[in-house]
Structure 1
């Protein structure tokens, strides 16, 4: 199976502004997914259920950027059959940064951080 990650296509400058605004508004989570150096999909207020797929260091899905009619799209594909009531996960592959985000996936091979 696969899911499209749906939201508003925005530039990095806008994503930075929105992230600060979301924090000020008390929105606990923002759903910003980088497509490439220029484009980010913001699913925070106008996304689909794919925005709720959690990270795992041992995921059962993976994200891939594909081009459809000259537009880049994010597609989440399953790596294996996913059972009913099994959580759908993929590796967020956040860039390495000094300030670490703890990983809570509890996979045997957990890296300990998302970045």
Structure 2
């Protein structure tokens, strides 16, 4: 069905009663929305990353998201204050930086850096 909003303006938005045009449009839009939902990617906020990586403060997540090799946000809103990242790109980052995943792995990495890089 072709959703012609322009030619159905009155029936859709100025007629306050339920009518056949509204029913048809709503049915078609519900089908379209269901189809679109099937194709949505998984996106993560910085809050999701903080939980995923078991970090206690937001600054730690912020430090990682500002790195040059961290994926760029796929969506920003609230005037850029809220950034959303594609989960698959975050997974690539995690594969390349496995120490980020848990507090224990971050501590082990810091100990390794101290032993092998700083004290050498």
TM-score range, shorter chain: under 0.3
- TM (norm. structure 1) is 0.23
TM-score normalised to the size of structure 2?
A: 0.22
- Relative to total residues, which structure has the larger strand share, 1 or 2? 1
Q: Higher Cα Rg: structure 1 or 2? A: 2
- The answer to which structure, 1 or 2, has the higher relative contact order (CA under 8 A, 6+ apart) is 1
